[in-house]
Structures are given as C-alpha cells and as structure tokens.
Chains A and B, each alone.
Chain A
Amino acid sequence: MSEKYAITDLLEELKKDDSWETDPEVRQIIADALYIHLVGNI
C-alpha cells in the first residue's frame, strides 16, 4: 500500500530541496505559486 500524503507535504519538501533550485526564496515562491495553479484560491 502506498504512503498517504497531501499536496502540502510535497510542497513543503520542495521548499527544502535544493536539487532543483538553490535559492530558498525562489523555492518558496515557486512552491506557493504551484499550490495556486494546482489547487486554486478563492
């Protein structure tokens, strides 16, 4: 059975992962923008 996770868990990992982007501020901005693109806002 696969591990349960939420999109927010993955985005938190993305913010800490410097393998795709070395600038932590950019990682934060892109992760937040991903949430808006994938989930939306109100």
Chain B
Amino acid sequence: MANETLRAQREQNLLDALNLKEPDKVPIGLETMGWPLVYAGTDYEKTIDNPEALTKAYLKFFDDVPMDYFALNIGIAMPLKMHQALGSDEYFLSHDKILIQHNQAAENLMRADEYDALIDDIMGFRAGTLLKRRFPIFDGPKDVAYEALKKAAVSLKEFYYTNSLLRQGILDRNIVPLGEIGPDGSKAPVFYSAFNIIFDFLRGIKGALVDLRRRPDVVREAVQAVEAARPPHATPPEYFLENSPLPLAMTIYHSECFLNPKQFDEFYFEPFKKQVMPYMECGAKYYLKGEGQFLSTLDRFKELPKGSMVFMLDEDDPFEAYKYIKDHHSIAAGINSSLLSHGTKQECIDYAKKCFDTFAPGGGFIFLPNKPLICANDAKIENIVAVYEFADEYGKKR
C-alpha cells in the first residue's frame, strides 16, 4: 500500500545521491519492459488480452525484490495490437514472447530525395506521404481505413489501460518513477535531438548516417527545420522545480555514439545546452540514458552545473567512465547485463560490491543495471534476486 513516508525517503535518497551527498541508502532501480513477466513464469503473448492478469504477474517481481525507483517509462513499450490493426509489421512479438521488437529494416521510410518536401512542411510530410507509405491502408478506401483506425483506437485504449494499472501498481509499492512531474504522471521535460528524429523515424539508422556523410548540408538544413518547428516544452523551468519532488528531466543518446566529435557537438551537445540550461539554472537535473559507447563525450558535461547530470551507461566500462564523472555528476551503474544473464550469483554480487565500494563514497551513485531488461534471457532470475537483495543491504549507510 502507498506509504508517503517511505516514498518521500526514497525521493530524498535519490535527491541526496544526485546532489553528490551520501544518502541514507543508495537507491536501487531498474529499467525494464516486459521482463517481469518472465519472473512470474508467463509472457506477453499469454497475457496481452487480460490487463488484470498481466498486471498481477508483472508486479510479482516488485513484491518479491527490493526496489527504490523505476527508470524511464513504466509498462509495455509499444501498442503492438494497434499496429496489427492497421496492417503494419513495424513491430512484432519476438520469439521469446516478451520483447516487442522494432522491425526498422522492413519499414518504408523517407527517401533520400525527399528532404526538400520534409523541410518545406515537416508534419505535413509525415502525416501525408510518409504515413501512407508506412501504413498503406491510409492510401486505400476511406471506409476501410476508418474501420481499421477504429480497431486501432480500441487496442490503443486497452494498451493505455494496461500501462495505467502497471504504473499504479508501481506507485502503490512506493517505487519512485523517474521522469515524472508530481503524482499526475505528466512527463518531465525531455531533450531528444532533432537529428534523432531523422535517425529514428524518418531516414532510419543507415539512411541518416549515409546522408550525414554524403549530404551534410541538407541534413543540417532538415535538423534546423525540425528545431525551428519545435514548440517549447509545455512545462516551464519554474513550474517543473516547484512541482517535482525530484526535478529530474530526461535525455537520450540514440545516434550519438555514431557521430564524430564535431557532429556530436553540432547535433547533440550545443542544442542540448540551449534547451536545458534554463532548467539547470533553476536546479533541474538531467538523466542521460546512454546507448552504445560514449566515453569520449563525457568530458564535455563538466562545463554544466555541478550535480546536474546522471549518466546511465550502456557499453562503456563504468570504472573508466567514472574518471570523467566523479565529483561532478552522478553515475547510474552497478551490475553488468552479461553477468546477470551468464554469470554466477557470486560473480554478480562481487561486481556489484566493487561498484558500491568505488562509486558510493561521497554520493553521486544510484544502482542500475547497464542495460534495460527487455528480453526473456536478459537475466537469470536467481542472479537478479541475489544482486538486488545484496544491493538493498550493502547500500545502507553504516
């Protein structure tokens, strides 16, 4: 049951850690999608049509295993049945029946010769040409498209209902969701680079990177057009600070590990600073969800206010990354995913202990696996239970 005191203690521990002070207990957290269903001995295929059964199974893990915070979005990642209702195979349920996989290779994306059309009317292009290419049903008879859209709407409503049950279950267990403003669940500000829009949704990974090499000027023009069209975040800095017990905003690396230093500065770091500085000047912090290797980018963040960043690492060695982060920002690390899936319990505990012994003194450390649990085989159950029980005890101030 909801316990405001426990929840407030957990928020305070997070705040202390991110303010580079030693908290009463190092917060332990998890980023996951469908993996908790594995813990309960079921999968998404078996539960997708029964939100209550899915929720009960999903939350068993959080009843059994200690947890202080939930990193990023709670619940199922993608409305699979919404896509299926529209005849799309952009997403499919993987063979493990847990991971909803993005099938970008099969996506019909923007072509290389369509940058002018995009720059001319970004949302018009996406809602017209690109939508019909991705979902051919919208290029056919209106009555057929409308019936499919209605089915998609029903599926999307059920998807949101399921995720609302999961989120409430997490809140009832006094687990702090990162990236939310207050109890209504509205989202904290997010910085997502304009180049990532092209990379993720328009040209795809291969197309965007080839364009950047062959036609940097047109990519630059498209990025500038996206940036110019963006409205300011609906939550102004002052409101965010006043209404968030944990004023933690979000940013994500997607394309960034593929960019050279000059491109990184141009497409990520400079626009990032422009957007986030008004928030950081008011005291907000940013959680960076890393993807890939990005050790070479960490030094830049020292120019930002002290204690304003927390880095979730992915492929990089956290002990090496810590040399750039120590005493200035915070690190979210503590257990390696390959150990969780292939190591022994003792190897997992030894690694976690080394992380606590290295990163916890002086604050600036929150416990988190280096990768989200998204596939059935991402962790052995006995390993994750052992390492979280260890972290929950060992992280207490002595």
Contacts and interface: CB of A to CB of B under 8 A. Distances in A.
Interface residues of B, number: 30
B122 A42 contact: yes
A35 to B, nearest CB: 8
Interface string A14-40: 100101110000110011011001111
Q: How large is the interface on A (under 10, 10 to 19, 20 to 34, 35 or more residues)?
A: 20 to 34
B153 A39 contact: no
Interface in B9-54: none
Contacts of A30: 153, 156-157, 160
A21 B157 contact: yes
A19 B79 CA distance: 21
Interface in B364-388: none
Given A20-B153, A42-B194, A10 B146 contact: yes
Contacts of A42: 122-123, 194, 197, 226, 229-230
Interface string B125-157: 011100100010010111001100110111011
A19 to B, nearest CB: 7
Contacts, number: 66
B201 interface: yes
B156 A13 contact: no
Contacts of B153: 14, 20-21, 27, 30-31, 34
Contacts of A33: 156, 160
Contacts of B226: 42
B150 A19 contact: yes
B140 A2 contact: yes
A14 to B, nearest CB: 6
Contacts of A39: 123, 126-127, 131
A23 to B, nearest CB: 10
Nearest to A3: B142
B82 interface: yes
5 contacts: A3-B141, A13-B146, A33-B160, A37-B79, A39-B131
Closest A-B pairs by Cβ, 8 of them: A39-B127, A2-B141, A5-B142, A3-B142, A20-B150, A30-B153, A39-B126, A30-B157
